[in-house]
């Protein structure tokens, strides 16, 4: 019997690491202060696990920035431009850049909202082991009375997520990095009589190519033969790892970690595991969500697993690292009591894990009094969750089961003709994506209103003043389709969540997004509905200030879903449909209030894609369905826009088309028109606004530059299909950057229009 935590969050329950890092980066403290805080946090987190009774506790799950970056350092994979630097200077330069060198790229860790640093490799690299971080953490833990396992990112996942500077195949470098891993294991084997090493290979849950699969056996045969006293756990998560598991069982490794929450199919590989005498870490406590475990259901699942592999071969574990959950509910004082009783953050999950482990192996008698209480509370909460009125809203369910419009009544071809007649906008119409700079004053007004320091009237005046300025500027610049600037929104999801029923907001539910950055996702706990209009007052006010068309601005269902903690007692697709109906009400109200263009942002549409190709069609089906539901009330003369924050449309162009928006604005500025070719190639009909300049940089694009960019677009798509806009919202920029940039954009359009 034993309980196993794949990894623990590190930022600190009061985000201590974040603040220590940021103080150090701004020169307010020296590095020793960061080290002190880091040491304290590691110790605290180990002790939390130990006190809860967890048997297998990780070291090297901690990181000052990111574990992929740590792995690059461990291997000595240092890009040329950082050579000469050392220690923390090197480390943070790689992560964040310095005055001479740009930072390494960062991208999303599988389908989570965590971002890792993308290692840059070349065929000339010569790797050298640097095991000091790992060895030191191990010793630190031992000194603190913890007997830890050691977490590593596996060589195959490391290479799969790295890039080669010459764009070649990173797997060609396996022969070079594998010896470093072997050397590392040799070092680690000397640390103790017996040492457990967890090698994370989440890449194994993807649809691996035959060539990739063929790397698994030789790699793990090698690693498992390095030292007799090392126990190797290969840890997979976020999906099932069937193909890789079937190979791993034929290597010398001891244990395979499987995610039974997001990879139910893992059940199918248990027979092979049993036949080969391997052990299983059964990930049954959700590491990616914040809901309490259903202990009785988990026990049932564990029994099912045990029936195949034998109880003695099971360790009860988390589905993945708890990195993706906040720390503890202890500081949540404002959450609704019932909602809170249905939630578990990382620290609470430790209790669940240990209780499950004891119940499974020893029975109820083994629980302490405290654990018995927790178990009773867990059962009671799971019960109330099934019937609570604040979750199960009869009106929502009635509506979901009723007949409602699934799509717009008119076809695109007919709509767009009417729209052109009505709007009569010029060739290459100009617009923006929605937000304008969030100034200190705007943030302060929002904060003061929230804290009751100013009245609602004062708050509204402040917002309206901002909108006035926004409208005046856009008119002066000569932009064709205006926006109100979104001053009332802190965040494009939070703003809607706060006004929808079924959402809760935590005070301290922070999760690391990257480096020192954390996000606090909304919590969707119950059936979703819209008690009253959410944006109509602002948008109609803005429209009243101009003769030009004011574009209404909403966030789409899939994006709201992907950036929230979503209830796990209802299918995601059902939650999404509820949100879609709520947004549909808003579209309808905006239209009734005289708003003629409405943009429904689906910034995170692509992020929600499943890791397994076989699951993509189902996702696409409901994601498209729900976008269409939310814009269904729009009549032919209401123009529907959408916006997406990426540019790689090759795989999903048909899906985008099926969403049936009249206009889509996208983020192509940094990638040029290469990626746009797909629109022409498939004969995409709807109108497109490929970003003509990159808003992620403070640089002001010149008129000439934008002219060149527009001309490039015209090589790929006809003028009558094109809109001209920046590539994303402008809220993170300063007015000093935005004003000249947009003026240049309009100037550039004028020049190109003349040429046409
Ligand atoms: N309308 C939003 C804005 O402009 C869209 C943001 C986004 O694409 N992430 O801020
Ligand atoms: Zn965007």
CATH number for the domain that contains residue 360: 3.20.20.210
Q: Which ligand 1 atom sits closest to the C-alpha of 553?
A: 1
Give every CB contact of residue 428 below 8 A, 6+ residues apart in sequence. 710, 719, 722, 723, 724, 749, 752, 753
DSSP assignments along 333-393, one per residue:
-SS-HHHHHTB--HHHHHHHHHHHHHHHHT-GGGS-HHHHHHHHHHHHHHHHHHH-TTT--
Residue 65 and residue 93: Cα distance in Å, rounded?
A: 11
Residue 666 and residue 676: Cα distance in Å, rounded?
A: 10
Does any ligand 1 atom lie closer than 6 A to the CB of residue 553?
A: yes
pLDDT tens, residue by residue, 586-602: 999 999 999 999 999 99
Does any ligand 1 atom lie closer than 6 A to the CB of residue 433?
A: yes
In terms of Cβ atoms closer than 10 Å to its own Cβ (0-12, 13-18, 19+), residue 616 is middle
Number of Cβ within 10 Å of residue 365's Cβ equals 8
Average pLDDT over residues 641-649: 89
Residue nearest to atom 3 of ligand 1 (CA): 729
Does any ligand 1 atom lie closer than 6 A to the CB of residue 733?
A: no
Give every CB contact of residue 609 below 8 A, 6+ residues apart in sequence. 111, 616, 619, 652
C-alpha atoms less than 13 angstroms from C-alpha of 237 in its C-beta half-sphere = 31
Average pLDDT taken over every residue of the chain:
97
The three-class DSSP label of residue 560 is helix
Please enumerate, as own/partner, the contacts of 469-473 that have beta carbons within 8 Å and a separation of 24 or more.
470/436, 470/542, 471/542, 471/545, 471/546, 471/550, 473/739
Residue 552 and residue 467: Cα distance in Å, rounded?
A: 13
Average pLDDT over residues 680-687: 94
To which residue do tokens 């699951």 refer?
Answer: 615
Residue nearest to atom 5 of ligand 1 (CA): 729
Residue nearest to atom 8 of ligand 1 (CA): 603
pLDDT tens, residue by residue, 351-363: 999 999 999 999 9
Q: Are 730 and 695 in contact (CB under 8 A)?
A: yes
Helix H or strand E segment including 497: helix 494-497
Give every CB contact of residue 686 below 8 A, 6+ residues apart in sequence. 412, 416, 657, 660, 661, 662, 663, 664, 721
What's the pLDDT score for residue 219? 98
What would the two tokens of residue 328 be?
């503890």
97 Cα–ligand 2 center, Å: 24
Average pLDDT over residues 629-645: 97
Taking CA atoms, 247 is separated from 109, 231, 269, 278, 319, in Å, by: 24, 18, 10, 12, 21
Q: Are 249 and 273 in contact (CB under 8 A)?
A: yes
- pTM for the complete prediction? 0.96
Residue 543 and residue 271: Cα distance in Å, rounded?
A: 65
The total number of structural domains that make up the chain = 1
To which residue do tokens 């369905």 refer?
Answer: 625
Q: Which ligand 1 atom sits closest to the C-alpha of 731?
A: 10
Does any ligand 1 atom lie closer than 6 A to the CB of residue 492?
A: yes
Q: CA 386, 392, 397, 398 torsion: positive or negative? A: positive
What's the pLDDT score for residue 674? 79
Beta bridge partners of 724: 430
DSSP assignments along 264-294, one per residue:
GGGGGGHHHHHHTT-EEEEEEE-SS--BPP-
Asked if the structure places residue 533 within a domain, the reply is no
431 Cα–ligand 1 center, Å: 13
What would the two tokens of residue 18 be?
């974040």
Helix H or strand E segment including 751: helix 735-755
Asked if the structure places residue 453 within a domain, the reply is no
Helix H or strand E segment including 523: strand 523-529
Average pLDDT over residues 220-241: 98
The three-class DSSP label of residue 13 is coil
In angstroms, what is the C-alpha Rg of the chain?
27
Q: How confident is the model at residue 697 (pLDDT cuts 50, 70, 90)?
A: confident
To which residue do tokens 């919590």 refer?
Answer: 523
Does any ligand 1 atom lie closer than 6 A to the CB of residue 151?
A: no
Beta bridge partners of 150: 59, 197
The three-class DSSP label of residue 233 is strand
Q: Which ligand 1 atom sits closest to the C-alpha of 433?
A: 4
Residue nearest to atom 9 of ligand 1 (CA): 603
Q: Which residue has the higher pLDDT, 651 or 575?
A: 575
The residue to mutate among 551, 607, 728, 732, having the most atoms of ligand 1 within 8 angstroms of its beta carbon, is 728
What's the pLDDT score for residue 648? 82
| 149-167: b (≥16 Cβ within 10 Å) or e | bbbbbbbbbbbbbbbbeee
Average pLDDT over residues 95-120: 94
Q: How confident is the model at residue 389 (pLDDT cuts 50, 70, 90)?
A: very high
What's the pLDDT score for residue 414? 98
688 Cα–ligand 2 center, Å: 14
Residue nearest to atom 6 of ligand 1 (CA): 729
Asked if the structure places residue 592 within a domain, the reply is no
665 Cα–ligand 2 center, Å: 8
Nearest CA-CA partner of 246 in 210, 286, 215, 276: 276
Asked if the structure places residue 225 within a domain, the reply is yes
Residues with CB under 5 A from ligand 2 (ion): 645, 728
433 Cα–ligand 2 center, Å: 7
Strand 481-482 and strand 58-59: the pairing is: unpaired
Least confident of 100-104, 222-226, 469-473: 100-104
In terms of Cβ atoms closer than 10 Å to its own Cβ (0-12, 13-18, 19+), residue 16 is middle
Asked if the structure places residue 281 within a domain, the reply is yes
Tell me the backbone φ, ψ of residue 529, rounded to 5 degrees.
Answer: -150, 170
Domain span including residue 180: 16-385
Q: How confident is the model at residue 675 (pLDDT cuts 50, 70, 90)?
A: confident
Q: Is the pLDDT of residue 647 over 80?
A: no
Helix axis angle, 132-143 to 31-52, nearest 10°? 50
From the CA of 666, the nearest ligand is 2
Does any ligand 1 atom lie closer than 6 A to the CB of residue 434?
A: yes
Residue nearest to atom 10 of ligand 1 (CA): 729
In terms of Cβ atoms closer than 10 Å to its own Cβ (0-12, 13-18, 19+), residue 544 is exposed
* DSSP, res 76: T
Does any ligand 1 atom lie closer than 6 A to the CB of residue 601?
A: yes
Does any ligand 1 atom lie closer than 6 A to the CB of residue 645?
A: yes
Does any ligand 1 atom lie closer than 6 A to the CB of residue 731?
A: yes
261 Cα–ligand 1 center, Å: 32
Give every CB contact of residue 452 below 8 A, 6+ residues apart in sequence. none
DSSP assignments along 18-46, one per residue:
HHHHHHHHTTSS-HHHHHHHHHHHHHHHH
The three-class DSSP label of residue 638 is coil
From the CA of 602, the nearest ligand is 1
726 Cα–ligand 2 center, Å: 9
For residue 517, how far is the Cα from the chain centroid? Answer: 13
Asked if the structure places residue 68 within a domain, the reply is yes
Give every CB contact of residue 347 below 8 A, 6+ residues apart in sequence. 13, 48, 52, 327, 328, 329, 330
729 Cα–ligand 1 center, Å: 4
Tell me the backbone φ, ψ of residue 281, rounded to 5 degrees.
Answer: -95, 115
Q: Please give the positions annotated as active site.
A: 696
Asked if the structure places residue 162 within a domain, the reply is yes
Residue 302 and residue 299: Cα distance in Å, rounded?
A: 5
Does any ligand 1 atom lie closer than 6 A to the CB of residue 667?
A: no
pLDDT tens, residue by residue, 156-200: 999 999 999 999 999 999 999 999 999 999 999 999 999 999 999
What's the pLDDT score for residue 672? 64
Asked if the structure places residue 658 within a domain, the reply is no
Residue 43 and residue 463: Cα distance in Å, rounded?
A: 46
Q: Are 428 and 653 in contact (CB under 8 A)?
A: no
pLDDT tens, residue by residue, 10-57: 999 999 999 999 999 999 999 999 999 999 999 999 999 999 999 999
Tell me the backbone φ, ψ of residue 392, rounded to 5 degrees.
Answer: -100, 100
Q: Is the pLDDT of residue 670 over 90?
A: no
Q: Which ligand 1 atom sits closest to the C-alpha of 728?
A: 8
What's the pLDDT score for residue 671? 66
Provide the percentage of residues in the chain whose pLDDT is more than 90.
96
Q: Is the pLDDT of residue 723 over 90?
A: yes
């Amino acid at each position: 019997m034993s309980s196993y935590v794949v990894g623990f969050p590190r930022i600190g329950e009061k985000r201590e690491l974040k603040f220590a890092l940021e103080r150090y980066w701004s020169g307010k403290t020296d590095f020793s202060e960061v080290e002190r805080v880091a040491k304290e946090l590691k110790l605290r987190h180990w002790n939390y696990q130990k006190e809860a009774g967890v048997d297998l506790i990780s070291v090297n799950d901690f990181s000052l920035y990111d574990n992929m970056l740590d792995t690059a350092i461990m291997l000595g994979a240092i890009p040329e431009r950082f050579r000469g630097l050392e220690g923390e200077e090197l480390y943070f330069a790689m992560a964040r850049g310095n005055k001479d060198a740009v930072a390494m790229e960062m991208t999303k860790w599988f389908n989570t909202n965590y971002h890792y640093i993308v290692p840059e490799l070349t065929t000339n690299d010569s790797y050298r082991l640097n095991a000091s971080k790992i060895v030191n953490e191990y010793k630190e833990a031992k000194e603190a009375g913890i007997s830890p396992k050691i977490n590593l990112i596996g060589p195959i996942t490391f290479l799969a997520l790295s890039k080669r500077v010459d764009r070649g195949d990173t797997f060609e470098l396996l022969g070079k990095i594998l010896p470093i891993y072997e050397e590392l294991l040799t070092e680690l084997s000397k640390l103790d009589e017996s040492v457990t090493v967890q090698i994370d290979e989440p890449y194994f849950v993807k649809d691996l190519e035959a060539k990739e699969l063929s790397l698994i056996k030789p790699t793990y045969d090698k690693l498992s033969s390095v030292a007799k006293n090392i126990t190797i756990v290969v840890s997979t998560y976020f999906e099932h790892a069937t193909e890789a598991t079937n190979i791993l069982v034929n290597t010398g490794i001891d244990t395979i970690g499987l995610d039974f929450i997001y990879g139910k199919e893992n059940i199918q590989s248990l027979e092979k595991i049993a036949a080969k005498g391997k052990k299983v870490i059964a990930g049954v406590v959700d590491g990616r969500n914040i809901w309490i475990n259903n202990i009785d259901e988990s026990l049932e699942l564990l029994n099912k697993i045990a029936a195949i592999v034998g109880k003695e071969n099971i360790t009860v574990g988390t589905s993945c690292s708890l990195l993706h959950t906040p720390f503890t509910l202890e500081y949540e004082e404002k959450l609704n009591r019932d909602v809170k009783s249905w939630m578990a953050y990382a620290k609470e999950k430790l209790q669940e894990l240990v209780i499950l482990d004891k119940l499974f192996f020893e029975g109820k008698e083994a629980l302490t009094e405290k654990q018995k209480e927790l178990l009773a509370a867990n059962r009671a909460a799971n019960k109330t969750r099934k019937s609570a009125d604040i979750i199960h809203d009869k009106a929502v369910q009635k509506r979901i089961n009723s007949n409602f419009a699934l799509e717009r009544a008119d076809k695109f071809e007919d709509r767009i003709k009417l729209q052109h007649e009505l709007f009569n906008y010029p060739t290459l119409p100009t617009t923006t994506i929605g937000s304008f700079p969030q100034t200190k004053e705007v943030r302060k007004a929002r904060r003061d209103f929230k804290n009751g320091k100013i009245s609602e009237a004062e708050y509204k005046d402040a917002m309206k003043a901002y909108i006035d300025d926004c409208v005046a500027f856009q008119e002066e610049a000569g932009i064709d389709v205006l926006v109100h600037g979104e001053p009332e929104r802190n965040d494009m999801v939070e703003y809607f969540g706060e006004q929808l029923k079924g959402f809760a907001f935590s005070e301290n539910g922070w999760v690391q997004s990257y480096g020192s950055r954390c996000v606090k996702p909304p919590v969707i706990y119950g059936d979703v509905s819209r008690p009253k209009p959410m944006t109509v007052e602002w948008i109609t006010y803005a429209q009243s200030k101009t003769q030009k068309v004011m574009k209404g601005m909403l966030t789409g269902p899939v994006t709201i879903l992907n950036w929230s903690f979503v209830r796990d007692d209802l299918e995601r697709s059902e939650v999404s449909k509820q949100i879609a109906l709520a947004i549909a009400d808003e579209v309808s109200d905006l239209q009734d209030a005289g708003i003629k263009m409405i943009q429904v942002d689906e910034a995170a549409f692509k992020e929600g894609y499943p890791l397994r190709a076989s699951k993509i069609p189902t996702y696409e089906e409901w994601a498209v369905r729900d976008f269409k539901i939310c814009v269904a009330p729009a009549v032919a003369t209401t123009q529907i826009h959408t916006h997406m924050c990426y540019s790689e449309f090759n795989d999903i162009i048909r899906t985008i088309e099926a969403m049936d928006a009249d206009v889509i604005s996208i983020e192509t500025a940094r990638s040029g028109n290469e990626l746009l070719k797909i629109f022409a190639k498939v004969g995409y009909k709807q109108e497109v606004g490929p970003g003509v300049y990159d808003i992620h940089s403070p640089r002001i694009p010149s008129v000439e530059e934008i002219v060149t960019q527009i001309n490039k677009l015209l090589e790929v798509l006809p003028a009558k299909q094109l809109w001209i806009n920046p590539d994303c919202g402008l809220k993170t920029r300063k007015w000093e950057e935005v004003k000249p940039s947009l003026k240049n954009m309009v100037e550039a359009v004028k020049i190109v229009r003349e040429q046409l």
